[in-house]
Amino acid sequence: MPLVLGVDSSTQSTKVEARDVGSGEVVGRAFALHPPTQPPVSEQDPQSWWIALVDAVTALGAYRDDIVGVSIAAQQHGLVLVGEHGEVLRPAKLWNDVTSAPQADRLVSELGASAWATRCGSVPVAAFTIAKLAWVAEHEPEVLDATRKVMLPHDYLTWRLTGRHVTDRGDASGTGWFNPVSDTYDLELVTAAAGGPVDDWFGRLPTVLGHADQAGELGGEAAQALGLAPGIAVGAGSGDNMAAALGMGMAAGDVAISLGTSGTVYSVSATPTADDTGAVAGFASASGEFLPLVCTLNATKVTDTVAGWLGTDAAGLGELAMAATAAEPPCVLLPYFDGERVPNLPTATGTFFGLRADTTREQLALAAHDGVLCGLLDGLDALKRNGVAHQGRLLVTGGGGRSAAYRQRLADLVGGSVTVPEVDEAVATGAAVQAAMVVNGQSESTEVAQAWGLRTGSTVEPAADATSVREAFASCFDSLFA
């Protein structure tokens, strides 16, 4: 049977998923790890992503013979600079590299937050590609002078597959130099960050494809390395959050909370947003619409860290949290272990409040989970303030979405139902959806989502009233940062 291959190239690993084109049945999965990073400096060699992709696809074995299409989804915002002969000029600065915070501040100060929100849908912070480009311009101008192609992580892998320098509007909308309303580059924003004539930048940026466009065909060298047939279709690809929305079959009004290395809360919307506070990033979706999104730097890494302090692992910490007796007032963690993106606090650190001599390991475990979730629910409030409708499902996904503790506490904190999608790897699935659209000549991802049954899932209901926890979190934040 013909198969499509969806790729999720994240900060931590490459995951691949082979699915039947017609039914969406998963027939094979594999993964390979990436080199670890440690903010505030977070960089990876893009070649390591390619090696991981080759290793993961190779592990699919004979299933590779039936693959007729592939699409790449990858971590957003990373800056890849390529020279005249196709060489990568320096390690890619990733989304969670916060060394570019001064450059982001300068850009916002010079043009004004409102102008940025109007022109590219978002106010740049350290995570955005444009801030990283400004950092290179300031610290490594010789690298910038040698740059002939500017890419995002998914662009780089698509280029390795096809030889074409292309991107999609979803991932492009996270650069800080693309207008998702007009679907055009704003090259004056690039020159504000990196200098030089506007004309010099036009040729360095990838061609922006539509969500249903084909990026090209798999080239011979890449096909040989991957063990796939040359000439198979390659989709436009997208950023990881955009692909995850496809993988969960999200419709307008649905909201997803994703718990991974970073945390995100986002919704599919028919209308754009422009939040001059910088909290909501006005991204484009991978379905031709918009994807307003709030991102926090600190998510499952927080609970992993606290688990280590308590001599257990993530699963063990979840068990401790679910066994906790609620304290009044509650123990609260502001979880800014690696600084923070929203709120924009790149130099902040984590802080516990309400510790007492009788505070238990269980209460510390609960505070760790609640701290991560409260930060993301503040992001949901920001979406609502910007007119984003939430009349649909509240989904929880990502690695942390598999945790019973995270699922239950999310339902408790919102005081309502939470849907756990049946799909395991939403990003890889979304990339597979895109590959299927290209193979089938379809323009709407909803057609694939319906055929594959991607909107199914289980429901978690509240088991406790955690209203006081959100109130305490807000009070503790105000005591430090108001």
Q: Is 176 left (phi over 0), alpha (psi -120 to 50) or beta?
A: left
Neighbouring residues of 351: CB distance < 8 A, sequence distance ≥ 6: 333, 334, 336, 476, 480
Sign of CA dihedral 122, 125, 126, 132: positive
Rounded alpha-carbon distances, angstroms, from residue 31 to 17, 19, 55, 77, 479? 9, 15, 8, 22, 43
Q: Which two three-digit tokens encode residue 281?
A: 């990033």
Cβ–Cβ < 8 Å for 167, 209: yes
Cβ atoms of 372 and 355 closer than 8 Å: no
Is the Cβ–Cβ distance between 238 and 155 less than 8 Å?
no
Q: How far apart (Å, rounded) are the C-alpha atoms in residues 360 and 325?
A: 9
Angle at 285 between CA 270 and CA 105, to 5 degrees: 105
Residue listed under structure tokens 């109130």? 471
Cα separation, 275 vs 400, whole angstroms: 28
Say which of 66, 97, 155, 240 is annotated catalytic: 240
| CB distance 117 to 276 below 8 Å | yes
Q: Nearest 5 degrees, angle CA 418-CA 421-CA 427?
A: 125
Q: Which of 471, 466, 436 is nearest to 454 (CA)?
A: 436
| Residues 90/81, Cβ–Cβ less than 8 Å | yes
What six digits make up the tokens of 180?
């998702």
Active-site residue flag, 168: no
Residues with Cβ within 8 Å of residue 379, at least 6 apart in sequence: 263, 264, 265, 279, 280, 294, 295, 296, 342
What residues are labeled active site? 240
